[in-house]
Amino acid sequence: MFHWLEKNPFLFAVGVFIVIAFAGLIEIVPNFAEASRPVIGTKPYSTLELAGRQVYIKNSCNACHSQLIRPFKSETDRYGHYSLSGEYAYDRPFLWGSKRTGPDLHRVGNYRTTEWHENHMKDPKSIVPTTIMPGYPWMFTTNADIDTAYAEQLTVAQFFGVPYNKPVPMKDGSTTVVKMGKSIKEARELALEEAKKVAADMKDQDVKDAVARGEIPEIVALIAYLNSLK
């Protein structure tokens, strides 16, 4: 009956591959689909936060900082609740990192503030005298790329159905809406509006002036992103 298969070894190999791959798929895909669904309380990144995320990636923060809290008491005591896979639903790419030269940042928004980040990014040693983290002073003068962040937002909204402008359930039972501009002009305005809130808590006069002029320095976007990590 299957004699023809034995006579076609290549076809046979392809058939074997398909059968084994199918077995793998039905084991992996359902679990994966369940685990990658966003958990309640995870919301998409706003334009400014996404721009900050790109600053984070650009400066390779993930080379020294992980964003993955493992379920060990020593970690959860220090960083907060262990990470859940659904919390990364809107992360593209993931920034889990593989090495902790610095501390984990997955929930840094819970226990550090705008003021802290501002001074720490400018001169880490002034806050933590023994740190080996370098300063990032240029972030205070370079402007963040809001347009690319908006492009990314549009892309993920269109291709992956990321729920912008839609109610997202939060932990306390309420819902929140993360706004995405309808045009690039509106996106810039939204980002600036958010940047003003961050800059209000900052002290650097140059940054405040820049935001008042309608510019968004990288540091403002980065702090917005770090504060969103909860």
Partner 1 sequence: MNKLYVWGIIITAAMLGATYVTVGYQKGGLNGDIVNMLAIAGAVALVIITVFVVIKYVRQMQTDTATGELADESWDNIGEYKNPVPMGWAIMFLGTMIWGMWYFTVGYPVNAYSQIGEYNEEVAEKNAQFEKKYANIKGEELVNMGESVYLVECVACHGLNADGNNEIDAADLNKRISAKSVKHVIEHGSNNNLLYQGSMMPDRNGLLNMATGQVITDKEIDAVSQYVADGLQNQNSEGAQVFANVCASCHGADGKGIEQVAPNIATWDEKLIVNVLDYGKKGAIGTMPVMDRLNAKQKEAVAVYVMSLNKGE
Residues that bind partner 1 (CB under 8 A): 71-73, 76-78, 80, 82, 110-116, 118-120, 126-128, 201, 203
d(CA 19, CA 113): 53
Nearer to partner 1, 201 or 206 (CB): 201
The tokens 């591959």 sit on which residue? 17
Q: Please state at what angle helix 205-213 crosses helix 184-200, rounded to 10 degrees.
A: 150
81: CB partners within 8 A, 6+ apart: 69, 107
CB of 74 to partner 1, least distance (A): 9
Whether residue 71 is preceded by a cis peptide bond, meaning omega within 30 degrees of 0, is no
CA atoms within 13 A on the CB side of 85: 7
Nearer to partner 1, 15 or 24 (CB): 24
CB of 113 to partner 1, least distance (A): 4
Nearer to partner 1, 107 or 150 (CB): 107
CB of 167 to partner 1, least distance (A): 25
44: CB partners within 8 A, 6+ apart: 90, 156, 162, 163, 164, 168, 178
Whole-Å CA distances, 155 to 95, 142, 179, 196: 19, 25, 15, 26
CB of 187 to partner 1, least distance (A): 27
Nearer to partner 1, 77 or 174 (CB): 77
Nearer to partner 1, 118 or 218 (CB): 118
CB of 202 to partner 1, least distance (A): 10
